[in-house]
Chains A and B, each alone.
Chain A
Amino acid sequence: MKKAGKIILITGLALLCFAAGFFGRVYVESHPVFPWTRIYAASQNGTELLNQYFDDVKFEGKVLPGDDESPLQYSSGDWEIQTDAKGENIIAIALTADAAKEAEEHLTTARRDIGIVTDSAETELEKYVDIKYYLDTEVTEDGNFYRITVTEKNNGRETGAEGYFVYYTNGTLFSAAFSERVLDFPENEEIITPQEAYDIAYNTICEERKDLEMSYDFSEDAVTLTTAQIGQVYHIELYGERDSMEIYCICVIYACTGKVEEIGYSDR
């Protein structure tokens, strides 16, 4: 009896300790009154970010207790470079104009000016395709990268030559994809109108998807003429309804012949 009591007591204590460990861990992981995990993440991120950009300086994460907004910093005399609290952006703070200039030089090496990176992307495309017309460039930033699309255009019409580039924000090229020019001008005169293209798309979808209640809603915005690897095509956006759910449809049609190339649906 005495022995059984002991076993029960030890088992109980063991279970209690297991529960304390388990729930304690979950609590620390998720509870907002413990911001330490987040601070640690910011600290790690900020340190990595600074070390990535400044080869000549070794940064170490430093978090001031009780303050989760504390940035990581490196200072030299009267200027300093920091990351923000999340460790995502680099900020320079300077006390004098001269110091600001010095800090700015350091920052420039960290994050390449978007104009320089754009020029670099255009030069890359020119290496691949003999560019005859002007280049149109679009840039998207997603924190870690500049995503750049360079498109060759003639009188506002795409020629098919296109480059897609992903650069790290310090200007290093990460990945790229190219497509060659498929059209030389003068343009093909036999091109169907956007309205005709829309009608073809609408009728084809009505025939193919009897389960959808299609809405006819032609507007200039619903039809885009673009140049792809297979030539000039219309991209046509339409909407249908199934069980009160709006279904998006996209139809690709050859601009010269009106032949349907492909149709996509949001529920496929």
Chain B
Amino acid sequence: MSKNKNKCKKKRLCFTVCIICIASMFLGVISAEAYVSKTIAGYYRSDFVSGIAEAGVQQVLNAGIGYNISSYHVDASAATFKKSLQNREVVLLHSHGSTGYVTLSSTEKVYGTTVASWTDTLSAKLLYLSACKAGAQSSTYGFLPYELTKKGVRTVVSFKENISASSTTNGIHQFNLIAITNMTQGYTVSQSMALAYTTFRGMCTSGNYWGADSYQITGYGDYYLRHT
């Protein structure tokens, strides 16, 4: 009788342990999903304006579509940038750039060739590079957006020409913000950029589009910010 009781007790214990283990594993998977998804990071330099890296992140957070984990990086290192591309869904950058690269600070640069040398896989769904000529291909520094998509970033938005703004019109910052706002409204990246540019052209009376006309999308244009 007592042996049976003990057996029963052991069975119950085993069952409880199994349930706890399965539940823990399940929780782990969910936490991992949350760790990568619905997260957004902004990158800018301390000696530059923050532009979309701050305003764009805020726009997404305030849109009420479930993006609630954010981080801002000022004068970051290439290693930190890479980490964000591994564990953030969306990364928005505004900085100084030139053909084949972007800068993260006055000393730190990310070249197309830098990304080509990375051995890790990147899992960001959208990287928005608001920087002069970062989308142009360089025979020395490589083709940055292409290398990023090759390493796993799903969609890269970049500019092939110089981008700029004036204190009165806000130029490229206004364009970027319209594009991000469109994305929060359920449009895909392709649709958002196309719509933003159409809207922006109507605003620019002097025919100077502040470099917005040189935007390009590398990778899949069908990515969109998921609403919860």
Contact = CB atoms under 8 A, between A and B. Distances in A.
B190 A32 contact: no
Contacts of A248: 132, 162, 164
Contacts of B204: 228
B77 interface: no
A262 B190 contact: no
Interface of B: 13, 16-17, 20-29, 31-33, 35-36, 47-49, 86, 96, 98, 106, 120-123, 132, 152, 154, 162-169, 171, 188, 190-191, 193-195, 197-199, 201-202, 204-208, 210, 216-217, 220-222
Interface in A61-114: 86, 88
Contacts of B205: 228-230
Rank and list the top 7 A-B pairs by shortest CB-CB distance, nearest first: A21-B28, A228-B207, A25-B32, A264-B164, A22-B28, A21-B25, A17-B24
A19 B198 contact: no
Given A25-B33, A142-B190, A235-B208, A166 B165 contact: no
Contact of A250 (B47, B96, B210, B222): B210
- Interface size range on A against B: 35 or more
A186 interface: no
A29 interface: yes
A262 B208 contact: yes
B26 A164 contact: no
A206 interface: no
B171 A147 contact: no
Contacts, number: 178
Nearest to A266: B164
B221 A265 contact: no
Nearest to A239: B162
Contact of B106 (A29, A235, A245, A264): A245
A57 interface: no
A143 interface: yes
B197 to A, nearest CB: 7
Contacts of B193: 142
Q: Which of B23, B165, B205, B210 counts the most A-chain CB atoms under 10 A from its CB?
A: B205
A265 B166 contact: yes
Contact of A22 (B31, B132, B168, B210): B31
